Amino acid sequence: MNWKLIFWFTIGISVNVNSLSRQQFKNSGKTLRKSCMGKTQVAEDLIKDIEQGTFIEDKNVMCYMGCIYKLSQIVKNNKLNYEAMIKQIDLMYPPELKETMKKSVENCKDVPKKYEDVCAQSFWFTKCVYEDDPKNFIYV
């Protein structure tokens, strides 16, 4: 069984496509969100507006973002991995957002190198991606 099938099974989606619509993407993230909220003990009110650009500098928020990236398989050796991000964008992102997201990832790929901790890497990288293209930003 390949990892794509395992991922689909894990998040409870029975769709066999190479990308999702924006709503499918958001729905698939609900399982990730619930799992990471439990693992990091982050309060809902601290993360509910990330997609609208509200980034609260709180350790639990940062680690929540790190957890999302770990479960999305873009953390390798406790660091955000650029190549894995691009693969996930190709596999999961809505077609209309793929190129803009890849551009933002490219523009922000050096941000994580400034931080040792995967939680801080995730937070500052995500904030950079939002600031690079807020109208096309999507987050779970």
pLDDT computed for residue 11 by the predictor: 39
**Cα–Cα distance measured from residue 57 to residue 67, given in angstroms and rounded to the nearest whole number:** 16
How confident is the model at residue 1, as a pLDDT? 38
Given this structure, which CATH class describes domain 23-136? mainly alpha
- The β-bridge partners of 89 are none
Distance CA 68, CA 62 (A): 10
At 26 the pLDDT is 65
pLDDT at 25: 65
Q: How many CB atoms lie within 10 A of CB 76?
A: 12
Q: How far is the CA of 5 from the CAs of 13, 36, 53, 133, in angstroms? A: 10, 21, 32, 31
| pTM, entire model | 0.81
| Helix residue ranges per DSSP H, 1-140 | 3-11, 22-40, 44-47, 59-71, 82-92, 95-108, 118-132
Mean pLDDT, each 10-residue run in order, the chain (140 residues): 37 46 68 93 96 96 97 94 94 89 97 96 98 91
- Sequence-ordered list of residues with C-beta below 8 angstroms from that of 52, at least 6 positions apart, any chain: none
pLDDT of residue 29: 72
CB atoms within 10 A of CB 51: 14
